[in-house]
Copies of this chain bind each other. A is one copy, B any other.
Amino acid sequence: MKTYNYSDLTKQDIARLVQRNVDPANEIRTIVEEVISNVQQHGDRALYDYANRFDKVTLDKLYLNKHELEEIAATVLPEQKAALDIAYQNIYRFHESQLKAEDKVETMPGVTCWRELRPIEKVGLYIPGGSAVLPSTFLMLGIPAKIAGCHELIVCSPPQKNGKVNAFIAYVALMLGIDRIFLAGGAQAIAAMAYGTESITKVDKIFGPGNQFVTKAKTIIQSTTTTAIDMPAGPSEVLVIADDTANARFIAADLLAQAEHGIDSQAVLVCTSQEIAAAASEEVEKQLAVLPRAEIARQAIDNSYIVVTPSLGEAMSFSNQYAPEHLILATEKWQEITGSIINAGSVFLGNLTPESAGDYASGTNHTLPTSSYAKAYSGVSVDSFVKKITFQHITADGLQNIGPAVQTLAELEGLHAHANAVGVRYNPS
């Protein structure tokens, strides 16, 4: 792997290294806008047409029902069911802990303020299909939606050529108590959930990863409709911080787990030990040779790099500038440095915590901010499926306590009717 010496890098070099291509898909905007407008105008009809055109299948209805999902799911093996069950339970347990009632705060005598959670009523989950079948993503979105108590879950996934979805997707739907999957993929699925069609309910928020067409469609509907999205998305990435207590084999395995996602994935190693860096680079070549997805991983590795730093402090500084989706602390001293993490999506601590545990089954969510969005965004959680509504109650005494300040502030902003809304209440005759 390409290796840089941190001490040789200028500020500009570092800025260039941590830079990702924010919007590689801008050239497809016109295509996606046409798809959205077509779905908006023609509804279900457009979805049937796109299934024909893009998914090469003629559908006789736009969804699979519970009975059909059960038939499809029948081929899932007991061992696979057991693994999905473990993932379900751990993800449920961790996400359940995020749902907390908040205390009331009496900010002044007689003035009480608090927040209450309410689920977002209608949410849309996009589950990719085709070459990348991701039942884990379905769990990561469906479980927090269930815990939040969202009233309506619309699930879209592209149909395979046989007009069905993959058996694992069907099985997860049944685990989640979802008895309908809409057979729509790509930008057309996003448009259908944002505008609604005869069959598909317009939702308040859309979640889920997808190819560049899906991502572009989400960005467009976010700025042109009232439907929200989970977060902007880019290619997946990992940054490993390592020192001389790390294991080069483990590091290489983690870098390759990232690299096999796609040719645009990035796997960065920031390491205080020249020896470990060299050994990890060598291990990458060795492990790469036997990978089924070696061709993809090779291109991603060519697009990745190693930085050797004088200390863990510089390593963390580089990482904070990169703001990685996944951050692995491959050091026995991880407890000394977690406090200095500023920007990251999800963090994996120590030499025995592989990212793939969090991708599937440890309990944390794998829908995370990429492309340096971790500077301002958090990953998906139960929070993503609820609103926090503020409430306040003021007593007669409270009004006497707070009223004069409100009137003064309203008058200084020139808003007399605001002051009056307090004034009329002093004398409730």
Q: Which of the residues B365, B404, B424 comes within 8 Å of A390, measured between beta carbons?
A: B365
Encoded as 1 (CB less than 8 Å from any B CB) or 0, chain A from 8 to 27 comes to 00000000000000110000
Q: Which residue of B lies closest to A344 (CB)?
A: B389
Q: Which residue of B lies closest to A224 (CB)?
A: B23
Minimum Cβ distance to chain B for residue A68 (Å): 21
Q: Which of the residues B84, B98, B108, B120 comes within 8 Å of A376, measured between beta carbons?
A: B120
**A395 located at the interface, meaning its Cβ lies under 8 Å from any Cβ of chain B in the complex:** yes
Bound Cα distance A291, B367 (Å): 51
Minimum Cβ distance to chain B for residue A169 (Å): 11
B-chain residues with CB within 8 Å of residue A365 when the two chains form the complex: 390
Judging by beta carbons under 8 Å apart, are B418 and A356 in contact? Answer: yes
Minimum Cβ distance to chain B for residue A56 (Å): 21
Judging by beta carbons under 8 Å apart, are A394 and B107 in contact? Answer: no
Encoded as 1 (CB less than 8 Å from any B CB) or 0, chain A from 379 to 411 comes to 101010001111111111011001111101110
Q: Knowing A98-B115, A396-B352 touch, does A405 contact B83 (C-beta < 8 A)?
A: yes
Binds B, one of A183-191, A250-258, A274-282: A250-258
Judging by beta carbons under 8 Å apart, are A349 and B393 in contact? Answer: yes
Minimum Cβ distance to chain B for residue A419 (Å): 7
Encoded as 1 (CB less than 8 Å from any B CB) or 0, chain A from 243 to 276 comes to 0000101100110110111000000000000000
**A197 located at the interface, meaning its Cβ lies under 8 Å from any Cβ of chain B in the complex:** no
Q: Knowing A83-B405, A97-B102, A247-B428 touch, does A297 contact B417 (C-beta < 8 A)?
A: yes
Judging by beta carbons under 8 Å apart, are B226 and A405 in contact? Answer: no
B-chain residues with CB within 8 Å of residue A361 when the two chains form the complex: 402, 405-406, 409
A66-83 with Cβ < 8 A to chain B: 79-80, 82-83
Bound Cα distance A349, B342 (Å): 39
**A362 located at the interface, meaning its Cβ lies under 8 Å from any Cβ of chain B in the complex:** yes
Q: Which 6 A-B pairs have the closest CB atoms?
A: A107-B363, A83-B408, A228-B376, A90-B107, A356-B418, A354-B421
Copies per assembly? 2
Judging by beta carbons under 8 Å apart, are A79 and B254 in contact? Answer: no
**A422 located at the interface, meaning its Cβ lies under 8 Å from any Cβ of chain B in the complex:** yes
**A346 located at the interface, meaning its Cβ lies under 8 Å from any Cβ of chain B in the complex:** yes
Judging by beta carbons under 8 Å apart, are A394 and B357 in contact? Answer: yes
Minimum Cβ distance to chain B for residue A220 (Å): 8
**A170 located at the interface, meaning its Cβ lies under 8 Å from any Cβ of chain B in the complex:** no
Known: A113-B363, A347-B392. 4 other contacts (CB 8 A): A257-B417, A343-B387, A360-B406, A379-B388
Judging by beta carbons under 8 Å apart, are A388 and B392 in contact? Answer: no
Judging by beta carbons under 8 Å apart, are B343 and A118 in contact? Answer: yes
B-chain residues with CB within 8 Å of residue A247 when the two chains form the complex: 428
Minimum Cβ distance to chain B for residue A46 (Å): 22
Q: Knowing A413-B136, A428-B247 touch, does A402 contact B107 (C-beta < 8 A)?
A: no
B-chain residues with CB within 8 Å of residue A371 when the two chains form the complex: 226
A83-117 with Cβ < 8 A to chain B: 83-84, 86-87, 89-90, 93-94, 97-98, 100, 102-103, 105, 107-108, 111, 113, 115-116
